[in-house]
Structure 1
Amino acid sequence: MSKLAKQSILTTISAYMGVVIGYFNLLWLMPYVLKPEQIGLFKTIQDMALLMVPFAQMGVGNGITRFFPQVKEEKFSFFTFSLFLGFVGYIALLVCFLLFKEPISAAFSENSPEVNEYIQVALLITFLSVVNTLLEAFSRSFLKIAIPSLIRDVLLRLLMGLLVIGYFFDLYPFFLMIWGMVLVYLLTLVSMAFYMRKIGIFQLQFNWGSIPGALKKAFFQYNIITMLGTAGALLIMKIDSLMVSSMIGLDANAVYTIGFSIAVVIEMPRRAISQVAMPIISEKFAANQLPEIDALYKKIAIHQLLVCGLVFLLIWVNIDTLYHFVPNREVYEAGKWVVLLIGLGKLSDVLFSVNGEIIVFSRFYVFNITATLLMAIAVILLNLLFIPLFGIEGAALASLLAMFFYNFIKFFYVKVRLGFNPFTLGVFKIVFAGGVSWAVSFFLLPTVDWVLVDLILRSGLVLLVYLPLVYYLKAAPEAEEWIRLMIKKWINRSGN
């Protein structure tokens, strides 16, 4: 097994371990230990900090990955130079924050005044996250991926869980638990630096003059462009949580955050497929194999809709049962319509396939940044419009509309510029199979009082309708062939 393949497998394992720990923390531990307004404050401070990271980092993390192959002779000077730029970016962010401190504080003063008491926590977490991101990017350039992923996905979430458990056992008051988040991020940063030092890739060298001026210029330009795209994408993901806190309250954000987190499960298969597809798309663009990219565009649309659509169905038909397992569910089950709306938004990401990845690796990559920034502005305006009208459902509706139009604009651009189209008859067959599966479960199966029995019956009925319909309609013949091949291999191994 190659080193890269081994790193990829370990990284994938870490990612899924992190997801399990993260969902345990958010869907069970926090609702059990904390009050809704405490969860809302905890998540608001964390989201605020992470939202500021791409602005403070100035895109340097992506730039390290992009330009590292060109500076291997002066890699540690380049590393130190990148850290310096990260510090400069953070100072610039801090100055801007101080200049606009009054309007930022005013946004939370009416409905969530507690947020203003912990702004310093958010700023410290931002700084630690910026440095950690740059260390991780440099480590990734050496193809050292597994341990940084373990630190980011597993250790961070484990420490967050332990922080909440410590509060549960009265080891410290709530305000120290919030400040404890700084310690958690500091420990992950120290772990990352220790790992890099141990394997010999953490060295500070200040010979910046050895880095060519033309490369520095290209590095700056690339960083600014990617910063805009990364910041815009994160703004779309995080701004609704902050706006719910500021416009409604921290308890509402707790309800919204838990609903949002349930819905995000839908896109996990899409993320995995996207990670595999990106290098393939990049290679085919480099070889100018446009018809092959179009064919891949269509195949991915079918197969990720096949999987993600099923996940969405299983979540939605069992939504009341899922909330049954959340402590204090009478408070949090008000967010079930958030699950539906955010889930539909995530399905729009799935439905339009890898349009964003295609744009990024084409010569039209700047458009992706333009579209992202436009949608970031749109989601803010939509939240301002819908939250006063519909509360947390309004925030979810704003995200749904933003995600749909964001994808539709990218689809239209790819169609016009490159002539690619992800929609085939197979996509519509899968949508039809999903609609019939939901209708059968909703109209024909009564609610069963025993929660686990109801969960098994509804999930089983959806599978019994969805999968045979997809097979009968020949919606995804390549997936069928792959399953047959896997079954044949398993039978052959069993026979041996």
Structure 2
Amino acid sequence: MDKLAKQSILTTISAYLGVVIGYFNLLWLLPFVLEPEQIGLFKTIQDMALLLMPFAQMGVGNGITRFFPQVKNDPHSFFTFSLFLGLVGYTLVLFLFILFKEPLTAAFSEKAPEVNEYLLVALLITFLSVVNSLLDAFSRSYLKIAIPSLIRDVLLRLLMGLLVLGYFFEGYSFPQMIWGMGLVYFLTVLSMLVYMRKAGMLNLKFDWAGIPNSLKKAFFRYNSITLLGTAGALLIMKIDSLMVSSMIGLDANAVYTIGFSIAVVIEMPRRAISQVAMPVISGKFADNRLDEINALYKKIAVHQLLVCGLVFLLIWVNIDTLYHFVPNRSVYEAGKWVVLLIGLGKLTDVVFSVNGEIIVFSRFYLFNITATLLMAAAVVVFNLVLIPRYGIEGAAFASLLAMFFYNLLKFFYVKAKLGFNPFTKAVFQLLFAGGLSWVVAGLLLPKMDTILLDLLLRSGLLLLVYLSLVHWLNAAPEAEKWLRDRAGRWLKSGSN
């Protein structure tokens, strides 16, 4: 667990450093440099590429993590075989993209015709994202996630910011900037290759004879099955952005995207914990240590709610202040309610813990496809119904409904099949602490005329009430003990 905790901390630091850069890029740099329609196009191309990526990857990323314990004697041949499958998957997606290009372009032709001019950029980013995701999965199997997280969360955002700055200083045109996104993703792939080479994890071996045919079949079958689940999960998270662009317009997607990106910060600790927990859960299933998985299920629910709940509260009680610093905020602050709705949706992922990861690495992984495809279909229907009536708030509410029912369905399935339950007394204590903290800091505290003073006082009061209640209720004793131990070591080393 020490190694697990260390990697989680380093990954969380990288995630939040990336958030700082991402905040600067999306909440200040892009609105300052680009018009709303340009921001909408910028994000639509990225989201389209990310939506295609799981189909092109063919579920190989999760397959690497699941089957890696069985190929430790010859991991490099296994990895090369995985890369080959990823390239085959991308080729199939490329063929289907060409085959269905006409209806795809028709979807954007009325409200966002500019998207159709840069479809090749989306395909290029998809290819590079597939390669990068497989490199990341292989590193994760070695429990090496800190540097890949730094590359994914920090370097990528930093390079994107520099790309926009280059356009601002008239180094190139806007179309060239859009094509430059492909170069940014290429540099992240190159960085991963250099890191893995130096760490001794990258050694391509094209002799696959040592991989048993039975394992190849099981690997391919698992990937084919989880492909639909992974793609459906991303569809749930990304289709709203594309539908806002195609049904309302690129300027509306810019407003929606900025609100969505503020809310995404809430789940950053969950992502870090999930990345570290996946190989651990896989290993425990391989050893049939179900009780340990159930215990981990409960611990993760408490600790990620402790952190993610606090982040959500800090964002929402200061939401007007956050939008105050956005250039042209009169345009973008219309997305404030998107932040609340998407934030609540992210909290459902947090509260229900790692139910999806448990299903994926259990013998019941087939259910993940059923649940995900049902919810993917539901979110499309929700969007088709709610966007015309409520605009971008309708898209956000559609995502909230999809995330809640998706997690609820997986919770009941895990409970029925494995007897696992993430909900302990501590979860409800944390929800109580969060609700009371919001009332005190968000509703009872009067608004200050000075923006920075309001931010500091409101955040300080929220932290005081929330952490005091957590301590008084003894909701997270392990987290408190860990902090005391680290503080004691830091003080001891400082005194020496």
Q: TM-score, normalised by structure 1?
A: 0.89
After superposing the two structures, state which structure 1 stretch, 114-123 or 261-270, moved more.
Answer: 261-270
Using the alignment, how far apart are the partners of 1:31 and 1:361 within structure 2?
42
Residue of structure 2 equivalent to 1:169: 169
* Mapping of residues 397-436 of structure 1, within 5 Å: 397-436=397-436
Residue of structure 2 equivalent to 1:107: 107
Q: CA deviation at 1:289?
A: 4.8
Q: CA deviation at 1:102?
A: 1.5
Using the alignment, how far apart are the partners of 1:303 and 1:6 within structure 2?
15
Using the alignment, how far apart are the partners of 1:433 and 1:7 within structure 2?
28
Distance 1:53 1:432, change over 3 A: same
Using the alignment, how far apart are the partners of 1:491 and 1:315 within structure 2?
31
Residue of structure 1 equivalent to 2:232: 232
What amino acid sits opposite 1:305 in the alignment? L
Whether the aligned pair in 1 keeps the contact of 2:55 and 2:227 (CA below 8 Å) is yes
Using the alignment, how far apart are the partners of 1:195 and 1:423 within structure 2?
39
Matching of residue 458 in structure 1 with residue 455 in structure 2: no
Matching of residue 219 in structure 1 with residue 222 in structure 2: no
Using the alignment, how far apart are the partners of 1:482 and 1:75 within structure 2?
35
Q: CA deviation at 1:279?
A: 4.9
Q: CA deviation at 1:245?
A: 0.8
Whether the aligned pair in 1 keeps the contact of 2:16 and 2:268 (CA below 8 Å) is no
After superposing the two structures, state which structure 1 stretch, 360-369 or 288-297, moved more.
Answer: 288-297
Distance 1:69 1:293, change over 3 A: closer
Residue of structure 2 equivalent to 1:373: 373
Q: CA deviation at 1:179?
A: 1.2
What amino acid sits opposite 1:54 in the alignment? P
* Mapping of residues 30-109 of structure 1, within 5 Å: 30-68=30-68, 70=70, 77-109=77-109
Residue of structure 2 equivalent to 1:313: 313
Deviation readout 1:151-183 (Å, 9 max, x if unpaired) = 333332222111100110111111111111122
Matching of residue 303 in structure 1 with residue 303 in structure 2: yes
Distance 1:471 1:213, change over 3 A: closer
Using the alignment, how far apart are the partners of 1:457 and 1:244 within structure 2?
36
Residue of structure 1 equivalent to 2:358: 358
After superposing the two structures, state which structure 1 stretch, 193-202 or 315-324, moved more.
Answer: 193-202
Distance 1:121 1:280, change over 3 A: closer
After superposing the two structures, state which structure 1 stretch, 170-179 or 121-130, moved more.
Answer: 121-130
Q: CA deviation at 1:10?
A: 5.9
Using the alignment, how far apart are the partners of 2:140 and 2:276 within structure 1?
17
Q: CA deviation at 1:487?
A: 5.5
Matching of residue 470 in structure 1 with residue 470 in structure 2: yes
Using the alignment, how far apart are the partners of 1:290 and 1:66 within structure 2?
16
Deviation readout 1:72-116 (Å, 9 max, x if unpaired) = 676555444433322322221112112211111111111111101
Residue of structure 2 equivalent to 1:116: 116
After superposing the two structures, state which structure 1 stretch, 177-186 or 124-133, moved more.
Answer: 124-133
Residue of structure 2 equivalent to 1:17: 17
Q: CA deviation at 1:277?
A: 4.2
Q: CA deviation at 1:3?
A: 10
Whether the aligned pair in 1 keeps the contact of 2:65 and 2:279 (CA below 8 Å) is no
Using the alignment, how far apart are the partners of 1:70 and 1:409 within structure 2?
31
After superposing the two structures, state which structure 1 stretch, 171-180 or 351-360, moved more.
Answer: 351-360
Residue of structure 1 equivalent to 2:339: 339
What amino acid sits opposite 2:439 in the alignment? A
What amino acid sits opposite 2:301 in the alignment? A
Q: TM-score, normalised by structure 2?
A: 0.89
What amino acid sits opposite 1:157 in the alignment? R
Whether the aligned pair in 1 keeps the contact of 2:167 and 2:174 (CA below 8 Å) is yes
Residue of structure 2 equivalent to 1:256: 256
Whether the aligned pair in 1 keeps the contact of 2:7 and 2:276 (CA below 8 Å) is no
Using the alignment, how far apart are the partners of 1:431 and 1:99 within structure 2?
49
Using the alignment, how far apart are the partners of 1:280 and 1:246 within structure 2?
41
Residue of structure 2 equivalent to 1:267: 267
Alignment gaps of 5+ in structure 1: none
Q: CA deviation at 1:137?
A: 3.9
After superposing the two structures, state which structure 1 stretch, 222-231 or 197-206, moved more.
Answer: 197-206
Higher-Rg structure is: 1
Deviation readout 1:323-352 (Å, 9 max, x if unpaired) = 111111111111110000011111111222
What amino acid sits opposite 1:124 in the alignment? L
Whether the aligned pair in 1 keeps the contact of 2:8 and 2:272 (CA below 8 Å) is no
Using the alignment, how far apart are the partners of 2:88 and 2:462 within structure 1?
54
Q: CA deviation at 1:118?
A: 0.8
Using the alignment, how far apart are the partners of 1:427 and 1:11 within structure 2?
24
What amino acid sits opposite 1:55 in the alignment? F
- Please give the secondary structure, in 2, of the residue aligned with 1:127: helix
Q: CA deviation at 1:27?
A: 1.6
Using the alignment, how far apart are the partners of 1:74 and 1:434 within structure 2?
48
Alignment gaps of 5+ in structure 2: none
Using the alignment, how far apart are the partners of 2:480 and 2:86 within structure 1?
48
What amino acid sits opposite 1:405 in the alignment? F
What amino acid sits opposite 1:310 in the alignment? L
Distance 1:110 1:415, change over 3 A: same
After superposing the two structures, state which structure 1 stretch, 281-290 or 373-382, moved more.
Answer: 281-290
Using the alignment, how far apart are the partners of 1:477 and 1:73 within structure 2?
40
Deviation readout 1:17-36 (Å, 9 max, x if unpaired) = 33332222112211111111
- Please give the secondary structure, in 2, of the residue aligned with 1:393: helix
After superposing the two structures, state which structure 1 stretch, 53-62 or 140-149, moved more.
Answer: 140-149
Using the alignment, how far apart are the partners of 1:415 and 1:252 within structure 2?
40
Alignment size in residue pairs: 495
Q: CA deviation at 1:485?
A: 4.9
Q: CA deviation at 1:123?
A: 1.1
Using the alignment, how far apart are the partners of 1:244 and 1:20 within structure 2?
26
Residue of structure 2 equivalent to 1:186: 186
Q: CA deviation at 1:444?
A: 2.5
- Please give the secondary structure, in 2, of the residue aligned with 1:118: helix
- Please give the secondary structure, in 2, of the residue aligned with 1:327: coil
After superposing the two structures, state which structure 1 stretch, 168-177 or 14-23, moved more.
Answer: 14-23
- Please give the secondary structure, in 1, of the residue aligned with 2:420: coil
What amino acid sits opposite 1:116 in the alignment? N
What amino acid sits opposite 1:238 in the alignment? K
Using the alignment, how far apart are the partners of 2:207 and 2:176 within structure 1?
42
- Please give the secondary structure, in 2, of the residue aligned with 1:449: coil
Using the alignment, how far apart are the partners of 2:38 and 2:209 within structure 1?
50
* Mapping of residues 270-289 of structure 1, within 5 Å: 270-282=270-282, 284-286=284-286, 288-289=288-289
- Please give the secondary structure, in 2, of the residue aligned with 1:421: coil
Using the alignment, how far apart are the partners of 2:346 and 2:490 within structure 1?
34
Distance 1:445 1:16, change over 3 A: closer
Q: CA deviation at 1:283?
A: 5.1
Using the alignment, how far apart are the partners of 2:275 and 2:236 within structure 1?
20
- Please give the secondary structure, in 1, of the residue aligned with 2:45: helix
After superposing the two structures, state which structure 1 stretch, 400-409 or 213-222, moved more.
Answer: 213-222
Q: CA deviation at 1:219?
A: 2.2
Q: CA deviation at 1:369?
A: 2.8
Name the % identity.
78
Distance 1:297 1:495, change over 3 A: same
